Structure 1
Amino acid sequence: MISKADVVVIGSGGLGAATAYYLSKRGGFSVALVDKHEIGSQTSPRAAGMVSCARKSDLMIGLIKDACRKIEAFTEETGQPLDWVHSGSLKIARRPQDAEVIEDDFERGRRTGLDVELISPEEASGLNPFLQPTGVVAAMRIGDDRYFDPAQVAVGFATAAAANGATLLPKTDVRAVNIVGGTVIGVTTANGVIESPVVVDAAGAWTRQVAEASGIRVPLVPTRQQLIVTEPLDGARADLPMIRIMDAAVYTRPCQGGFLWGVYEETPRFFDMQSLGAGFDVKDMPLDIGVLHAAADEVKDQLPFLQTAKVREFRGGIPTMTADGHHILGPAAGVTGFYFASGCNVAGLSISPTVGEALAAWIVDGKPPVDLSPMSVMRFKDQSWSEDQLERDAAWQYRHFYGAV
């Protein structure tokens, strides 16, 4: 157990581990990466590992494009393995109003330099024969999209951070961030105190728990996300484009000879992490395969194989959702030295390389390399919110992640 560090990062998922890595890469800083569980063991390895470049804002598109470059260079930069496939994807509309969204996505994508193309339902089916054109009114091909092995990202960044001199402290529960006179002075853990002028709350599903133990409120909701990995299927290939069906919020990608697929359901389950107890582990999260069965039935005309494919793995994680669908990054209001890296909105792991580098620069240089004010927690500093309203807004953002109206 160490007693001092220049920066303590709480949480070793994708965002926390990436932040620790880019801080350690800067050199001259002692960095501690602390987690109440094993390093990189909670939601990150249970994610889908899908990169979606056609996002709702120029800022997000720019960040995702940079993340794609970092994913490609991950092994060269960190020395750690990362398996990824540049498959592209198909965004599918089944309703006229969603076709209009695709038109907007196409124009935004073309303006920002993405490889996007409006194609017919039949052309989409030709690119991925597991998609049937029945009921499809519009489709867009996004050539920039790719997928990766989610289990390798957080562990890879953490291992590379340690190689740069960072200290990894697994199974070290942070009880409180210590703040005196509005300034961070360290953290109290189950194993003792670590003095530090800078703390990053990247605790994932436990972000609120960490912040509120120190009197800081942050509006995000831990949300259950579930997915299935099927047994191998004839005709499934790693290079088949991913598929996203907008109104049903169903997604699928190739995975180990079969497919990985899931849904952002209409009424997601939220968790109060405090009530789950100190020993809770994401692997023990209660799952409900009925949600997936209902989703498969909803898209049976377009993805009929989902109803018959045998299940090899059924897993879930707990990403954090915000009311406006943006991450929560950067310094906390009114507290010097307290930073957030959370509110992933089911897109944290794919963007973690860029977010980690940006947050490291924010801490060291005093500002991020690009304007991240839409993601700053400062946007909430003069607002009050009820839990009911927060959950309603977060549920809407979850269901409408693909832009359906």
Structure 2
Amino acid sequence: MISKADVVVIGSGGLGAATAYYLSKRGGLSVALVDKHEIGSQTSPRAAGMVSCARKSDLMIGLIKDACRKIEAFTEETGQPLDWVHSGSLKIARRPQDAEVIEDDFARGRRTGLDVELISPQEASSLNPFLQPTGVVAAMRIGDDRYFDPAQVAVGFATAAAANGAILLPKTDVRAVNIVGGTVIGLTTANGVIESPVVVDAAGAWTRQVAEASGIRVPLVPTRQQLIVTEPLDGVRADLPMIRIMDAAVYARPCQGGFLWGVYEETPRFFDMQSLGAGFDVKDMPLDIGVLHAAADEVKDQLPFLQTAKVREFRGGIPTMTADGHHILGPAAGVTGFYFASGCNVAGLSISPTVGEALAAWIVDGKPPIDLSPMSVMRFKDQSWSEDQLERDAAWQYRHFYGAV
């Protein structure tokens, strides 16, 4: 146990570990990465590991493009392994109104320099024969998209941060961030007090617990996400493009000779992490395979293999959703030295290299390298939201991650 640090990052998932790594690169800073569980062990390794570049705003497209470059250079930069495949993806519309969204995505993608192409349903099926053209009204190929092994990212960043001198403190439960006169002075853990002028709340599903223990409100909702990895299937290749079906919010990508697939369900289960108890681990999260069975039935005309593919792994994580679908990144309102890196909105791991570097710059230089105000918690400073409204809006953002009308 240490007694002080220049910066303490709470939470060693993708966002927290990346932030700790880029802080450790700055030199001259003592950095501690604290987690109540083992390092990088919770939601991050249970993610899908898919990078989606055709996003809803120019800001997100720019951040994701930068993250792609960092994913490609991950091993060279950190010295840690990261298996990734530049497969591209297919975005599929089954309704005319979603075809219009694809038209907008295409125009935005072309304007921002993405490799995008409008293709016919038959062309989409030829690129990935596991997708059937039945019921497809529009399709877009996104050549920039890729996927990676989600289990390697957070652990890789944390290991690289430690190599740069950062202190890793697993199994260290944070009780409260200590704030005096509106300024952070450190934090109290189950193992003792750490003095620090800067604390980053990157605690994932526990973000609200950490913040609210110090009297700071933050509007995000821990949300169950479930996925299946199938047994190997004849004809599956690692370079087959990923598939995203907009209105059903179903996704699939190659994985170890089979497919990894999941759904952003319409009525997701939310969690109050406090009520789950101090000993809760994400691996113990209650799962419901019926949700996946219903999703497979909904897309049986386009992805018939989901009806019969055998399940090799069924897993889930707890990403955090916000009311507007944007991350929560940067300083807390009215508290000097308290920063957030959360609100991943089911896309935190893929963007974590860029977010971590930006937040490290924000902390050290006093401002981010680009305008990240859409992600600032300051947008919620009136604290006028109700829990019911927050959950309704978060559920809508979850289901409509692919932009379906």
- TM interval, short-chain normalised: over 0.9
Q: Distance in 1 between matches of 2:207 and 2:382?
A: 20
**Aligned-pair distance for 1:383?**
3.7
Deviation per CA, 1:286-329: give whole Å up to 9, x if none: 00000000000000000000010000000000000000000000
* 1:201 matched residue in structure 2: 201
* 1:253 matched residue in structure 2: 253
**Aligned-pair distance for 1:187?**
0.4
Deviation per CA, 1:236-267: give whole Å up to 9, x if none: 00000000000000000000000000000000
* 2:243 matched residue in structure 1: 243
Deviation per CA, 1:103-162: give whole Å up to 9, x if none: 000000000000000000000000000000000000000000000000000000000000
Q: Distance in 2 between matches of 1:384 and 1:277?
A: 28
Q: Distance in 2 between matches of 1:310 and 1:382?
A: 49
Q: Distance in 1 between matches of 2:372 and 2:242?
A: 29
Q: Distance in 1 between matches of 2:324 and 2:307?
A: 33
Q: Distance in 2 between matches of 1:368 and 1:180?
A: 25
> SS state of the match for residue 260, structure 1?
strand
* 2:23 matched residue in structure 1: 23
Q: Distance in 2 between matches of 1:249 and 1:337?
A: 38
RMSD over aligned CA atoms reads 0.3
Runs (4+) off by over 4 Å: none
Identity of aligned residues (%): 98
Deviation per CA, 1:206-252: give whole Å up to 9, x if none: 00000000000000000000000000000000000000000000000
Deviation per CA, 1:155-206: give whole Å up to 9, x if none: 0000000000000000000000000000000000000000000000000000
* 2:110 matched residue in structure 1: 110
Q: What's the TM-score once normalised by structure 1's chain length?
A: 1.00
Q: Distance in 2 between matches of 1:335 and 1:356?
A: 21
* 2:317 matched residue in structure 1: 317
Q: Distance in 1 between matches of 2:121 and 2:383?
A: 44
> SS state of the match for residue 17, structure 1?
helix
Q: Distance in 2 between matches of 1:396 and 1:5?
A: 40
> SS state of the match for residue 187, structure 1?
strand
Q: Distance in 2 between matches of 1:46 and 1:302?
A: 26
Gapped regions of structure 2 (runs ≥ 5): none
Q: Distance in 2 between matches of 1:28 and 1:395?
A: 43
Q: Distance in 2 between matches of 1:26 and 1:308?
A: 51
Conserved in 1, the CA contact under 8 Å of 2:217 and 2:383?
no
Deviation per CA, 1:319-376: give whole Å up to 9, x if none: 0000000000000000000000000000000000000000000000000001000000
Q: Distance in 2 between matches of 1:373 and 1:192?
A: 35
Q: Distance in 2 between matches of 1:352 and 1:5?
A: 23
Q: Distance in 2 between matches of 1:189 and 1:99?
A: 51
**Aligned-pair distance for 1:382?**
1.7
Q: How many residues were matched structurally? A: 405
Q: Distance in 1 between matches of 2:369 and 2:402?
A: 27
Q: Distance in 2 between matches of 1:293 and 1:122?
A: 26
Deviation per CA, 1:69-101: give whole Å up to 9, x if none: 000000000000000000000000000000000
Conserved in 1, the CA contact under 8 Å of 2:6 and 2:197?
yes
Q: Distance in 1 between matches of 2:266 and 2:113?
A: 33
**Aligned-pair distance for 1:378?**
0.4
> SS state of the match for residue 234, structure 1?
coil
**Aligned-pair distance for 1:6?**
0.1
Q: Distance in 2 between matches of 1:32 and 1:174?
A: 13
Matched, 1:65 2:65: yes
Gapped regions of structure 1 (runs ≥ 5): none
Q: Distance in 1 between matches of 2:26 and 2:213?
A: 30
> SS state of the match for residue 352, structure 2?
helix
Deviation per CA, 1:6-52: give whole Å up to 9, x if none: 00000000000000000000110000000000000000000000000
Q: Which moved more, 1:376-385 or 1:235-244?
A: 376-385
Conserved in 1, the CA contact under 8 Å of 2:12 and 2:158?
yes
Q: Distance in 2 between matches of 1:126 and 1:370?
A: 40
